[in-house]
Amino acid sequence: MSVRNYYLVVVLIAFSSIINPLSAIQNGSIIPKPQHTTINEGHFVLNGNTKIAYAQPSIKNLAVEFQKTLKTDIGIDTKLYKCRLHRNPKSTIELILQKGFENEAYQIVVNTKAVSCKASTEAGLFYAIQSLRQLIKTENGKVRIPCMKIDDAPRFAWRGFMLDEARQFFGKKTVMQYLDIMSRLKMNRFHWHLSDEQAFRLDIEKFPLLSTIGSIGSWSNRNSPAAYYTQSDIKEIVAYASRRHIMIIPEIDMPGHATAITRSYPYLSGGGQGRWAGFTLNPARESTYLFIDSLMTEIAALFPAPYIHIGADEVHFGNQSWHTDTEIQNFININKLTNEVTLEHYFVKRVNKIVQSKGKQTIGWDEIVNIDLKKDEAVVMWWRHDKPELLKQAIEIGFSVILTPRLPCYFDYVQDEEHQIGRRKFWDTPNINTLKTVYDFPDSPHQSSGIIAGNEKQVLGIQASLWSERIGDQKRLDFLSFPRLIAMAESGWTKKESKSYPDFMERLKLFQPTLEKEGIYYFNVFDKLLTPEPWGPTKEDVIPEDNTKFMQ
Q: How far is CA 74 from the centre of its chain?
A: 27
Q: Report in angstroms how near the CB of residue 266 gets to ligand TNX at its nearest.
A: 22
Q: Report in angstroms how near the CB of residue 548 gets to ligand TNX at its nearest.
A: 13
Q: Report in angstroms how near the CB of residue 33 gets to ligand TNX at its nearest.
A: 29
Could you tell me which residues come within 8 angstroms of residue 42 by beta carbon, excluding any fewer than 6 positions away?
111, 112, 146, 147
| Site membership for ligand TNX, residue 314 (CB under 6 A) | yes
Could you count the other beta carbons within 10 Å of the beta carbon of residue 348? 24
Nearer to ligand TNX, 325 or 366 (CB): 366
Nearer to ligand TNX, 104 or 253 (CB): 253
| Site membership for ligand TNX, residue 412 (CB under 6 A) | yes
Nearer to ligand TNX, 35 or 218 (CB): 218
Nearer to ligand TNX, 162 or 508 (CB): 162
Which among 358, 322, 352 has a CA at the least distance from the CA of 338?
322
Q: Report in angstroms how near the CB of residue 380 gets to ligand TNX at its nearest.
A: 12
Which among 123, 134, 126, 103 has a CA at the least distance from the CA of 37?
134
Alpha helices in 338-378 (DSSP H): 340-357
Q: What angle do CA 471, 473, 476 make, to 5 degrees?
A: 60
**Binding-site member from 347, 383, 482, 523 for ligand TNX (CB under 6 A):** 383
Nearer to ligand TNX, 246 or 407 (CB): 407
Which of helix, strand or coil describes residue 219? coil
Instruction: Give the phi and the psi of residue 303 in degrees, each rounded to 5.
Output: -115, 115
Look at strands 429-430 and 51-54 and give their pairing. unpaired
| Site membership for ligand TNX, residue 219 (CB under 6 A) | no
Nearer to ligand TNX, 34 or 256 (CB): 256
| Site membership for ligand TNX, residue 411 (CB under 6 A) | no
| Site membership for ligand TNX, residue 316 (CB under 6 A) | no
| Site membership for ligand TNX, residue 161 (CB under 6 A) | no
What sign for the dihedral angle of Cα 363, 364, 365, 371? negative
| Site membership for ligand TNX, residue 313 (CB under 6 A) | yes
Q: What angle do CA 163, 164, 170 make, to 5 degrees?
A: 85
Nearer to ligand TNX, 43 or 167 (CB): 167
| Site membership for ligand TNX, residue 251 (CB under 6 A) | no
Q: How far apart are CA 464 and CA 181, in angstroms?
A: 14
Nearer to ligand TNX, 154 or 364 (CB): 364
Q: Report in angstroms how near the CB of residue 258 gets to ligand TNX at its nearest.
A: 12
Task: Specify the DSSP element, H or E, that contains 161.
Answer: strand 158-164
Nearer to ligand TNX, 151 or 314 (CB): 314
Q: Report in angstroms how near the CB of residue 315 gets to ligand TNX at its nearest.
A: 11
**Binding-site member from 410, 439, 441, 523 for ligand TNX (CB under 6 A):** 410
Measured between alpha carbons, how far apart are the two ends of the chain, in Å? 68
Q: Report in angstroms how near the CB of residue 255 gets to ligand TNX at its nearest.
A: 13
Residue 385, phi-psi category: left (phi > 0), alpha (psi -120 to 50), beta (remainder): alpha
Q: Report in angstroms how near the CB of residue 365 gets to ligand TNX at its nearest.
A: 4
Binding mask 467-496 for ligand TNX (x = CB under 6 A): x-x---------------------------
| Site membership for ligand TNX, residue 165 (CB under 6 A) | no
Q: Report in angstroms how near the CB of residue 420 gets to ligand TNX at its nearest.
A: 17
| Site membership for ligand TNX, residue 382 (CB under 6 A) | no
Which among 136, 151, 106, 152 has a CA at the least distance from the CA of 43?
136
Q: Report in angstroms how near the CB of residue 453 gets to ligand TNX at its nearest.
A: 25
Residues in the chain, total: 552
Cis geometry, peptide bond prior to residue 483 (ω within 30 degrees of 0): yes
Nearer to ligand TNX, 210 or 471 (CB): 471
| Site membership for ligand TNX, residue 276 (CB under 6 A) | no
Q: Report in angstroms how near the CB of residue 63 gets to ligand TNX at its nearest.
A: 41
Query: Residue type for 112, please?
Result: T
| Site membership for ligand TNX, residue 365 (CB under 6 A) | yes
Size of the site for ligand TNX (CB under 6 A): 8
Nearer to ligand TNX, 54 or 410 (CB): 410
Task: Specify the DSSP element, H or E, that contains 460.
Answer: strand 459-466
Q: Report in angstroms how near the CB of residue 393 gets to ligand TNX at its nearest.
A: 17
Nearer to ligand TNX, 406 or 446 (CB): 406
Residues forming beta bridges with residue 370, ordered by sequence position: none
Nearer to ligand TNX, 410 or 504 (CB): 410
| Site membership for ligand TNX, residue 522 (CB under 6 A) | no
b/e per residue 220-240 (b: at least 16 CB within 10 A): beeebeebbbeeebbeebbeb
b/e per residue 25-53 (b: at least 16 CB within 10 A): ebbbbbbbbbbebebeeebbebeeebbbb
Residues that bind ligand TNX (CB under 6 A): 313-314, 365, 383, 410, 412, 467, 469
